[in-house]
Amino acid sequence: MSLYRARPQDGIAWITGASTGIGRQLALDLAAAGYTVAATARDEDRLATLSLDAAGSKGRIIPFPVDVTESAAMVATVDAVERELGPIVLAIFNAGTYYPVRGAEPNTERYVRTYQINVFGVVFGLVPVVERMKRRGRGQIAITGSVSGYGGLPMASAYGASKAALSNMAAALKFDLDLINVRIQIINPGFIETPLTEKNEFPMPALLPVDVASRRIVKGLSSGGFEINFPRRLSWALKVANMLPYWLYFPLMAKVTGWDRRRRS
């Protein structure tokens, strides 16, 4: 029997990191598809605007503001969503941040904050959601990673490591979640036009508009396998690059990113 795949008539879609970027567009697209979407972020004003922007859709968006780094608050949010709206059948853990880190000027706070949001911000929501899905015998979970998790990239020692952790976490969880009819997927996008990518100081090949990225994710949620990755020309190029020996990988990536033209300090 195939694993469960969520449908709007089954229950609620919950999205973290819904106030901007991919999360915001995903909330709108899922509402357009008929879902009632519980939208989570810290910014209450942006969530309120998002809810209004979904007016006229087949579904609706209901704000549930919370800081994903607060474990007890995330449990309370899951309780509130299911009490007020119904069972969460699709949970998309999308909240994330990117702090550039220069190797010559490492910053402890940037590492800590990155892992708090990108990794523990997933864990604090995933644990209570899995508990409920297990009791119901079905559910679907998606975690937003990044192609930067495939291997080391300039300025991404905090961000890329956090996304690599999410990919490993999702793959490890899949063995057990399959047994309780909970589908888990990892979403590994390339460069998307969002506030996060505005911080990048290097060329971003195959940069995609956020609406295109969201459509590909929605398609992957409804019909894709464990990994939803795009654009393929970038994601597969990086997969292949990370199969190379390091003595080839480092000069190749330095050339691709322009790091080979930077002066030594």
CB 119 within 8 A of CB 131: no
Active site residue 159: yes
Q: b/e for 77-111, b at 16 or more Cβ within 10 A?
A: bbeebbeebeebbbbbbbbbbbbebeeeeeeeebb
* Residue of 111, 115, 159, 246 marked active site: 159
Q: What's the CA gap between 26 and 107, in Å, rounded?
A: 32
Per-residue 3-state assignment (H helix, E strand, C coil) for 44-78: HHHHHHHHHHCCCCCCEEEECCCCCCCHHHHHHHH
Who contacts 84 (Cβ-Cβ below 8 Å, separation ≥6)? 62
DSSP-derived pairing of the beta strands 12-16 and 36-40: parallel
**What sign does the dihedral 4-84-72-144 (CA atoms) show?**
positive
Spatial neighbors of 193 by CB under 8 A, at least 6 apart, are 207, 208, 209, 210
Q: How many helices (H) and strands (E) does the chain have?
A: 9, 7
Q: Which residues are designated catalytic?
A: 159
